[in-house]
Structure 1
Amino acid sequence: MKKIFAGNWKLFKSPAETRAFMSKFKEVMGSVTGEVVFFPSAISLEAACEAVKGSAIKIGVQNAYTQASGAFTGENSAQVVKELGGQYILIGHSERRSIFGETDALIADKVAYVQSLGLTPMLCIGETLQEREATHTFRVLETQLLLGLAKADKAKPIVVAYEPVWAIGTGKVATPEQVAETHTDVHSILTKMGFTAPILYGGSVKPDNAGQLIKQAHVSGFLVGGASLEVDSFQKIATV
């Protein structure tokens, strides 16, 4: 299965900064063996799509609604993402769940709608520190997958990103053993559900730990936060 290296820029980088980054990253893209995807903020999406034309870099958006248009103030249209040349939609990130109150039911509708447009959903799952310490990780991830993929088409592409909530932006990283165990569990759950999907790891991934993490069972790449904001650091991660 091909490796996927994705960068989630969250609410960083203006359109001008986005164009400058893409110009530099295209110069080192030849060293990357897997697929590269960037998720800029919605305001910088068009700049990103224009900047990567003619290259192998893929673009997605960090969130999109379940309909193409309508009276949904502040939302993003996956149909517009498609028209701009984007190919991925990030769905169910822990910040969308915790800060903006997204439910598994809404996430399931988003996954199904994105697939219907021929785009690829990247579904984020992950447990909190409290849930891990209570040994509820497997149950939490199983529930998120069962509910989040309840309306998904098994015949269409989907990517799953496992991000332990306690390791996102905290500097804490799951140990290689924890990553291997959890990714094996996620792979087992997906297999039982009838899905075949790359499973990315996210959670304070940096150049100095990426090489070890990529070797773990069922790790098909990374969803990177802060380290994806700089060309050098992300290029090092994407060439492990």
Structure 2
Amino acid sequence: MARKLIAGNWKMNLLRDEGTALARDLALRLARTVDPAFDLLICPPATIIAPIAAAVAGSGLLVGGQDCHSAPSGAHTGDIAARMLADLGCSHVIVGHSERRQDHGEIDLMVAEKARAAQAEGMVAIICIGETEAERNAGRAPQICSRQIAGSLPRGATAENTVIAYEPIWAIGTGRTPTAAEVADTHAHIRAMLAVHVPAEAAGIRILYGGSVKPSNAAELLSLANVDGALVGGASLKADDFWAIAQAIAK
């Protein structure tokens, strides 16, 4: 199994100077770490990817995008193509985040097309899935995850070009976290679904947990079977907190 991946989704936060300072801080900590047990990724807003990628080039700190369009170019005002992100130095792209699915009406097919576009440009697609609170309470979380994996996973998905991020929507930014047993059960189900759709690659595809991940719960979450890292929101905006989450892997 590959090293765990700790990914920070900065969402619509930070301007150039503060974002670059945060990235440099993380890059310096990473450079001082001998043989880290994790890969560290930050996904800034598109407006500051270029200066951040330049500031941390060669440091080992990975830089990614928060979304991409499925087309390589064209009349898509306000969108950004996967090839544009790759051109800036991005190694990963988040696709299908619940905030994109809910706020912009993205459906599984659109997510699969975006993931395919990212992979075609040599980047890793971080495909997000997860259920709402109502779906969880109705006992439908497994069915929702199964449907989203079936619809959002593009053909040609491999352990090298695909990461799955499970984010229960009701836990994002709320401070609420599923129990360890709930996370373990859901991640085991996701692994089983990957075995159905990409049997030769299922064991190697990293599955991240996301949803109110913080230093106080990171060690427990990252120790669970089939939890291969974390997709971190608010805590990734503070160097000490984000670094503490990554360091929790060794505990």
1:18 maps to amino acid: G
Q: CA RMSD in A?
A: 1.2
1:14 maps to amino acid: L
Q: Following superposition of structure 1 onto structure 2, how do residues 14-163 of structure 1 map, counting pairs within 5 Å? A: 14-29=15-30, 30-31=32-33, 32-154=36-158, 156-163=160-167
After TM superposition, the score normalised by the length of structure 2 is: 0.93
After TM superposition, the score normalised by the length of structure 1 is: 0.97
1:229 maps to amino acid: L
State the secondary structure of the residue aligned to 1:59.
strand
State the secondary structure of the residue aligned to 1:239.
helix
1:128 maps to amino acid: T
CA–CA separation in structure 2 for the residues paired with 1:204 and 1:164: 10
Moved more, 153-162 or 113-122: 153-162
Q: CA deviation at 1:153?
A: 3.4
2:247 maps to amino acid: T
Structure 2 gap ranges (5+): none
Which residue in 2 is equivalent to 1:227? Answer: 235
2:187 maps to amino acid: H
4+ runs of 1 displaced by more than 3 Å?
Answer: 150-156
Q: CA deviation at 1:223?
A: 0.2
Q: CA deviation at 1:15?
A: 1.1
State the secondary structure of the residue aligned to 2:37.
coil
Q: Following superposition of structure 1 onto structure 2, how do residues 184-199 of structure 1 map, counting pairs within 5 Å? A: 184-194=188-198, 195-196=201-202, 197-199=205-207
Q: CA deviation at 1:6?
A: 0.2
- Kindly provide the CA deviation profile for residues 64-117 of structure 1, in whole angstroms up to 9, marking residues without a partner as x: 001122110010121111111111010000000000111111111111111111
Q: CA deviation at 1:48?
A: 1.6
2:208 maps to amino acid: L
CA–CA separation in structure 1 for the residues paired with 2:120 and 2:245: 32
CA–CA separation in structure 1 for the residues paired with 2:126 and 2:146: 16
2:178 maps to amino acid: A
State whether residues 132 and 170 of structure 2, in contact with CA within 8 Å, keep that contact through their aligned partners in structure 1: yes
State whether residues 199 and 219 of structure 1, in contact with CA within 8 Å, keep that contact through their aligned partners in structure 2: yes
Q: CA deviation at 1:27?
A: 2.2
Structure 1 gap ranges (5+): none
Which residue in 2 is equivalent to 1:204? Answer: 212
- Kindly provide the CA deviation profile for residues 134-173 of structure 1, in whole angstroms up to 9, marking residues without a partner as x: 0000000000000001434347520000000000000101
State whether residues 111 and 152 of structure 1, in contact with CA within 8 Å, keep that contact through their aligned partners in structure 2: no
